[in-house]
C-alpha cells in the first residue's frame, strides 16, 4: 500500500509515491511552459492538467504498490476559471503577473486595506488573487459569464481528480477573500470585490478526506477506483508539515522558484507589526497555529535565469551527459564570498517591501568578473534578501533560531552553508528534500487512519539529514557586504523609479 503526493509549482509538477514506512517508491516530474514577459506571466490551464495526469500515470507505472490516497500541494494566488463542462476559460495568471493595479484601487475605494488586513490577514495588493479575479471579470466579461468555478491550483487538481472542490484555509488565504480568524469566506470582502462566492471551493482543513477519484480518471491513470483524494494545502504549509514544523518557534526555508521563510507561531495579540513589514497572517494545518511568509519572488528563479542567460551551452552538455547543471555550477564556485552584490528583485520586491515596480541590480562587476562569480553572487543575494527578512521578523516579534531547508535549493550544500554563514541560523537539511510531497503523503496517511495524529505520521515521513552551522572564517566579509546590500533597495528605487 502506498500514498501519492502531488506538488504543483510555477514551472512544473511532480508526483512522489511512498509506502507506509516512508520509503520512496516512485517519482515523476514534468515541466510546463510559463509565459513570463512584461505583458503577462501565465500558465496554460489545460497544459497543467495534462502534466498532472502525466506525472501521476508515470509514477504509478513505476511501482506495483496500490496507491490508497492522493493529496495536492500547490503554489498560491493563481487560479483557474472553468465553465460548466470543466473547460478552462482563461490562462492561469501568476502572482507576478502585472495585471490588477486598477482593481486594487477599486477594491480599496470600497473597503479599506486596513479593514481587509483585519479580516484576511493581509493588505490589498496586486499579488493576491482577488485583484486578478476582478481583472478577469472586468476585462473578459463574456468568459466570466460562462464561469462555473474559480479554483486555486491545489483545489483545481483535486476537483479534476475527484469531482468535488475544497480548498485548504492557507491556500484560500492567499486570495485575501478568506476570514483567517473564522476560517470561512468573508462576505464583506466578496461584496466589496463584486464576486460570486458560489463559484469558489468550500474552505476545509488540510487532511480532510474529499472523495474517491473519478472512475474515468482512475482508468486512464492506472489508479485503483477506491483511491481517496485528500485535501492538500498551500505548498509552504505542506513543506512545513513535511519538515516537521508542527509547533510554535520552528521555521522552514523553502527554496523553489520562490524563496520563502515560513515561521510557525501561535496567534499574535496584534498583527500591526506584521502588517508594517507586509507579513500576512495565515492559518497552519495544525489547529491553533499560524504562519507567515517572508519571501522573495526570485529564489530558484534567479538560478534558472542564470542558466538560461549565461550557461545555455553548459546546460545542454549537462543534459546530454545525464548530469544536473546546478550541481555542476555548484562545484565550480569559489569558496570565498564573491564581492559582487545582486539585488534579486527581478520580478519586483516581495516582503518586507511589496514593491511591484522594484527592479534587480548587480554591483561590483569588473573586467575580471566571470560568469561563475555572478552565479555565486546570485546565491548570496538571495540569502541577503532572506537575512533582511529574518531581521524584520524579529522586529515583528517572530523569532527563529533554526531553518529547516526544503525544496530544490536544499540539494545545494554550498547554498545551505552560505545561509548558515550569513544568517547565523542553524540550517537543517532532510534526507528527502521533497518536503512538500512528503507533507501531502503524511496528510494522506493520517486521513486513511494509519496514524492517530499528524505528528505521528510526520515522524515516519520526515527524516533530517545534514545540519549546517556558521563557519566564522567568512562571517566578517559577508556581514560587511550585507551592510552594503541593505542600501541597495532604496538607492535602486531612487534611480529607477525617481
Q: Which class for 143: exposed (0-12), middle (13-18), buried (19 or more C-beta within 10 A)?
A: middle
Cβ atoms 45, 160 nearer than 8 A: no
Into how many domains does the chain fold? 1
> Is 233 a domain residue?
yes
Q: Quick one: how far is CA 103 from the chain centroid? A: 24
Reduced to 3 states (helix: H, G, I; strand: E, B; else coil), residue 290 is strand
Q: Quick one: pLDDT at residue 390?
A: 97
| Residues contacting 347, CB < 8 A, separation 6+ | 41, 96, 297, 298, 301
Q: How far apart are CA 155 and CA 27, in angstroms?
A: 22
pLDDT at 432: 76
Q: How far is CA 482 from CA 30, 228, 337, 339, 399, in A?
A: 37, 49, 11, 10, 20
Give yes or no for a contact between 194 and 103, defined as CB atoms under 8 angstroms apart.
no
Provide the domain limits for residue 164. 2-243
DSSP label at residue 294: E
Please report whether residue 384 resides in a domain: no
Question: What is the dihedral angle through the alpha carbons of 347, 352, 356, 359, rounded to the nearest 10 degrees?
Answer: -50
- Write out the chain's pLDDT in tens, 498 residues: 899 999 999 989 999 999 999 999 999 999 998 888 877 999 999 999 999 999 999 999 999 999 999 999 999 999 999 999 999 999 999 998 999 999 999 999 999 999 999 999 999 999 999 999 999 999 999 999 999 999 999 999 999 999 999 999 999 999 999 999 999 999 999 999 999 999 999 999 999 999 999 999 999 999 999 999 999 999 999 999 999 999 998 999 999 889 999 999 998 867 888 999 999 999 999 999 999 999 999 999 999 999 999 999 999 999 999 999 999 999 999 999 999 999 999 999 999 999 989 999 999 999 999 999 999 999 999 999 999 999 999 999 999 989 999 988 999 999 999 999 999 999 999 877 788 999 999 999 999 999 999 999 999 998 888 999 999 999 999 999 999 999 999 999 999 987
Please, what is the end-to-end C-alpha distance for the chain in angstroms? 61
> 341 lies in a domain?
no
Q: Does residue 332 belong to any structural domain of this protein?
A: no
The whole model's pTM is what? 0.91
Asked whether residue 20 is assigned to any structural domain, the reply reads: yes
Residue 37 is predicted with a pLDDT of: 81
Please, what sign has the CA dihedral across residues 47, 48, 53, 54? positive
In a domain, 431, yes or no: no
Q: What proportions of the chain, in percent to the nearest 5, are helix, strand and coil?
A: 40, 25, 35
Give the DSSP H or E segment for 389. helix 371-395
Q: What are phi and psi of 95, to 5 degrees?
A: -60, -30
101 belongs to a structural domain: yes
- The 8 Å CB, 24+ separation contacts for 49-53 are 49/88, 49/156, 49/157, 49/160, 51/12, 51/13, 52/6, 52/8, 52/13, 52/157, 52/160, 53/217, 53/220, 53/221
- pLDDT number for residue 463: 83
Q: What is the CATH number of the domain that holds 86?
A: 3.30.420.40
- Residue 454's nearest CA partner among 291, 253, 244 is 244
Answer yes or no: is 231 within a domain.
Answer: yes
Burial classification of residue 288, based on how many CB atoms lie within 10 Å of its CB (0-12 exposed, 13-18 middle, 19 or more buried): exposed
Report the distance separating Cα 262 and Cα 267, nearest Å: 14
Amino acid at each position: 500500500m502506498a500514498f501519492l503526493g502531488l506538488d504543483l509549482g510555477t514551472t512544473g509538477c511532480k508526483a512522489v509515491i511512498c509506502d507506509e514506512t516512508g520509503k520512496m517508491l516512485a517519482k515523476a516530474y514534468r515541466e510546463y511552459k510559463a509565459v513570463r514577459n512584461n505583458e503577462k506571466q501565465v500558465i496554460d490551464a489545460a497544459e497543467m492538467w495534462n502534466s498532472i495526469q502525466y506525472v501521476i500515470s508515470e509514477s504509478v507505472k513505476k511501482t506495483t504498490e496500490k496507491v490508497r490516497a492522493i493529496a495536492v500541494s500547490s503554489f498560491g494566488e493563481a487560479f483557474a476559471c472553468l465553465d460548466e463542462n470543466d473547460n478552462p476559460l482563461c490562462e492561469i495568471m501568476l502572482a507576478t503577473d502585472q495585471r490588477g493595479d486598477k482593481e486594487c484601487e477599486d477594491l480599496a475605494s470600497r473597503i479599506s486595506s486596513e479593514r481587509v488586513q483585519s479580516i484576511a490577514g493581509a493588505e490589498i495588493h496586486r499579488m493576491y488573487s482577488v485583484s486578478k479575479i476582478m481583472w478577469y471579470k472586468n476585462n473578459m466579461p463574456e468568459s466570466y459569464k460562462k464561469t462555473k468555478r474559480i479554483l486555486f491550483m491545489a483545489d483545481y487538481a483535486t476537483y479534476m481528480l475527484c469531482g468535488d472542490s475544497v480548498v485548504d484555509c492557507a491556500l484560500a488565504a492567499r486570495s485575501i477573500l478568506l476570514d483567517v480568524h473564522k476560517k470561512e469566506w468573508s462576505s464583506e470582502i466578496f461584496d466589496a470585490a463584486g464576486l460570486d462566492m458560489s463559484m469558489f471551493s468550500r474552505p476545509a482543513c488540510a487532511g480532510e478526506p474529499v472523495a474517491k477519484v473519478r472512475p474515468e480518471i482512475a482508468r486512464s491513470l492506472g489508479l485503483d477506483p477506491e483511491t481517496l483524494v485528500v485535501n492538500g494545502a498551500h505548498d509552504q504549509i505542506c513543506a512545513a508539515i513535511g519538515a516537521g514544523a508542527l509547533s510554535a518557534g520552528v521555521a522552514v526555508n523553502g527554496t523553489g522558484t520562490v524563496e520563502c521563510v515560513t515561521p510557525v507561531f501561535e496567534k499574535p495579540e496584534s498583527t500591526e507589526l506584521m502588517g508594517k513589514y507586509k507579513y500576512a497572517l495565515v492559518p497552519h494545518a495544525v489547529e491553533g497555529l499560524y504562519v507567515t511568509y517572508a519571501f522573495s519572488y526570485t529564489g530558484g528563479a534567479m538560478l534558472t535565469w542564470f542558466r538560461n542567460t549565461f550557461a545555455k551551452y553548459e546546460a545542454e552538455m549537462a543534459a546530454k551527459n545525464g548530469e544536473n547543471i546546478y550541481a555542476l555550477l555548484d562545484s565550480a564556485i569559489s569558496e570565498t564570498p564573491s564581492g559582487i552584490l545582486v539585488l534579486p528583485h527581478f520580478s519586483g520586491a516581495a516582503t518586507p517591501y511589496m514593491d511591484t515596480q522594484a527592479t534587480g541590480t548587480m554591483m561590483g562587476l569588473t573586467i575580471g568578473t566571470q560568469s561563475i562569480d555572478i552565479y555565486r553572487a546570485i546565491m548570496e543575494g538571495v540569502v541577503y534578501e532572506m537575512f533582511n527578512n529574518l531581521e524584520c521578523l524579529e522586529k515583528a516579534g517572530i523569532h527563529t533560531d533554526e531553518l529547516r531547508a526544503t525544496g530544490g535549493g536544499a540539494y545545494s550544500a554550498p547554498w545551505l552553508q552560505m545561509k548558515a554563514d550569513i544568517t547565523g541560523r542553524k540550517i537543517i537539511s532532510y534526507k528527502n528534500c521533497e518536503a512538500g510531497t512528503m507533507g501531502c503523503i503524511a496528510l494522506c496517511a493520517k486521513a486513511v487512519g494509519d496514524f492517530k495524529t499528524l505528528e505521528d505520521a510526520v515522524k515516519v515521513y520526515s527524516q533530517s539529514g545534514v545540519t549546517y552551522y556558521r563557519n566564522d572564517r567568512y562571517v566578517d566579509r559577508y556581514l560587511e557586504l550585507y551592510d552594503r546590500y541593505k542600501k541597495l533597495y532604496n538607492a535602486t528605487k531612487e534611480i529607477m523609479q525617481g
